[in-house]
Chains A and B, each alone.
Chain A
Amino acid sequence: GKNEYDLLIIGGGSGGLACAKEAAKFGRKVAVLDYVEPSPQGTKWGLGGTCVNVGCIPKKLMHQAALLGSAIKDAQHYGWNIAQPVHHTWSVMAQAVQNYVKSLNWGHRVQLQDKKVKYFNMKGSFSDPHTIRGLTKAGKETIVTAENIVIATGGRPKYPVHIAGALEYGITSDDLFWLKESPGKTPLVYYPFILHLCEIIVYISLTGSSPDVSLECAGFLTGIGLETTVMMRSIPLRGFDQQMASLVTEHMESYGTKFLKRCFPTKVEKSESNRLQVTWKNTDLRTEVTDSFDTVMWAVGRAPDTETLNLETVGVKTNSETGKIIVDASEATSVPNIYAVGDITEGRPELTPTAIAAGKLLAQRLFGQSSELMDYDNVPTTVFTPLEYGCVGLSEEAAVQCYGSDNIEVYHAYYKPLEFTVAERDAAQCYMKMVCLRERDQRILGLHFIGPNAGEVIQGFALGIKCGATYPQLMKTIGIHPTCAEEITKLHITKGSGLDATVTGC
């Protein structure tokens, strides 16, 4: 018989919802299946996917909470009379953030309903290439058929299951944002010695393409006053420009986050005082240490959510190493009418804007006679650590690998945001660099910026890079004064020259 729907999307996150809403614009019969399997700790959430519920949105809001704490400290220098130290109440922040997220869940429900997209709160799996079996929480089954199917189920945080106690006692970002009570007890600052009164340890190991959430979480946890330790086996922010990654973590260290480098945990146990005892090994010193914490958070990468989809039945091919779905430039899988977008797809950035754009373009190609493919080049991004890092284009390493170090020029500068001066803030890690081709028009290959509001700074330059901006064009661009962004337009010291790259006053 005829298929019930023109388009069925499994997964109501950034990619899935964007695709659904776009397809509905063409008057197509569209349905979305969304289901949140509770985390091992029992956390669950509503419609909207990772970004809305356990990613970008709550992360950025909590990052803002931490920044406000720093601003309050700075405020004294600017004349504000605020009794220090100022304390933070987790539950107030959490409730406000969670309420906002819930309003977004509702907003998506209303939008889908309004655009006549059918919504099923069910876990979907393939019966055949045009048939999905949906299962409700209560176990009720519904069969749905569709001409085209898009898989947009995203990913979930991994657990280091080989570490004893990891699953039982640890949390992930899925849980952190939904905690009603603080992950660490508030320090009693009027006592001279506070040891281990509020501690969270975040273990990050660097597989997967989004290792920044862990540092971002550690960053805001430190910022709101919790004793936070980051343990890592190897390098932070793998996949990002490594010079910039070091500056980011250096800043976090000076900001108060403790780092246990070249260490990995071996077990997590519960102590009599109901705290968590973590044992770890230091690979360099070959020592083994045990210490107590209130909360252990794992940030060891994200796994694609494909296990229960039954992909083998329909023959959708996945990457044997990552488990992600293999797609071509049109987001098509190995099966003709089945597509995939977002974090679930192999080789794509794990970012909301790319999932949304890919989802929209897919709908336009399927139903709108468009042939435009998604352009994954020069996608700008920002890591929202206490000192933010924004970038667009190639890292220095990638540019060297692509073109050879003789063919690129790197311009760089250490600068000091004006706002830091009066506040007596250290700007040692406020740095920017631009990687350009040496020859002909000196096209800009990559731009990297560490500083306040890095995302806002880089966004506009992403347009320039998209248009093939060159170094001479940038030099002709007048800066806005006084800003941090203007320093980009003034970059002129090259790494190769060996000259001091510190910006002097205006």
Chain B
Amino acid sequence: MGWEEKQVCGYSEFVETAQRYHGRPIFALFCGDKDAEGRSWCPDCVTAEPVVRRELHNMPDESVFIYCLVGDRAYWKDPNNEFRKNLKLTGVPTLLKYGTPQKLVEEECFKAELVRMLFTED
């Protein structure tokens, strides 16, 4: 069946989507919002996104890749935002395998081998 991508904005949309695909391997990339020109306020996210996208084909069959825009810079900086509180995210970009402790944070997302390892590791 291969894999599919879902693009979501904000925490509730993320949770709803993740729950909808419960049972399938779910990988999520969290990035800062993009402006009208499609540029994120988060420079590391700009660097990481193409690296992650190039490795997507390594995900196991049936995987769901959720691309989640977390919000604007001010929302992200708030230490009580829902991503920090509930998903325990500490930075953007974060790439994680949902439901496991496996994740890559910030510069770790720049490294293709680490991204590949996250997608293929048991």
Contact = CB atoms under 8 A, between A and B. Distances in A.
A99 B114 contact: no
B101 A113 contact: no
A254 to B, nearest CB: 39
Contacts of B102: 102, 106
A63 to B, nearest CB: 22
Contacts of B103: 106
Interface of B: 100-104, 108, 111, 113-114, 117, 121
Contacts of B114: 110, 113-114
B113 A113 contact: yes
Interface string A37-79: 0000000000000000000000000000000000000000000
22 contacts: A99-B101, A100-B101, A102-B100, A102-B101, A102-B102, A103-B101, A106-B100, A106-B101, A106-B102, A106-B103, A106-B121, A109-B117, A109-B121, A110-B104, A110-B108, A110-B114, A110-B117, A113-B111, A113-B113, A113-B117, A114-B108, A114-B114
A110 B111 CA distance: 11
A114 B103 CA distance: 14
Closest CB pairs A-B (n = 4): A103-B101, A106-B102, A102-B101, A113-B117
Nearest to A104: B101
A103 B88 CA distance: 13
Chain A CB count within 10 A is highest, among B100, B103, B113, B121, for B121
Given A110-B108, A114-B111, 8 more contacts: A102-B100, A102-B101, A109-B121, A110-B104, A110-B117, A113-B114, A114-B108, A114-B114
Contacts of A106: 100-103, 121
A110 B108 CA distance: 9
Which applies to chain B's interface (DSSP): helix, strand, loop or mixed? Answer: mixed
Nearest to A100: B101
A106 B102 CA distance: 6
Most interface-central of B100, B102, B103, B108 (chain A CB within 10 A): B102
A100 B111 CA distance: 24
A110 B100 CA distance: 15
A109 B119 CA distance: 13
Contacts of A99: 101
Nearest to A102: B101
B109 to A, nearest CB: 11
Interface of A: 99-100, 102-103, 106, 109-110, 113-114
A102 B100 CA distance: 8
A103 B105 CA distance: 13
B104 to A, nearest CB: 7
A446 B100 CA distance: 45
Contacts of B108: 110, 114
A325 B100 CA distance: 37
In this complex, the member of A100, A103, A113, A114 whose beta carbon has the largest number of chain B beta carbons within 10 angstroms is A113
A109 B114 CA distance: 9
Nearest to A98: B101
Contacts of B121: 106, 109
A113 B100 CA distance: 19
Nearest to A101: B101
Contacts of A109: 117, 121
Nearest to B105: A110
A100 B101 CA distance: 8
A127 B65 CA distance: 43
Contacts of A114: 108, 111, 114
Nearest to A121: B122
Nearest to A105: B101
Nearest to A112: B117
Contacts of B117: 109-110, 113
A482 to B, nearest CB: 35
A102 B102 CA distance: 8
A110 B121 CA distance: 11
A387 B84 CA distance: 37
A102 to B, nearest CB: 5
Contacts of B113: 113
A426 B117 CA distance: 53
Contacts of A113: 111, 113-114, 117
A106 B114 CA distance: 11
Contacts of B111: 113-114
B56 to A, nearest CB: 19
A106 B108 CA distance: 13
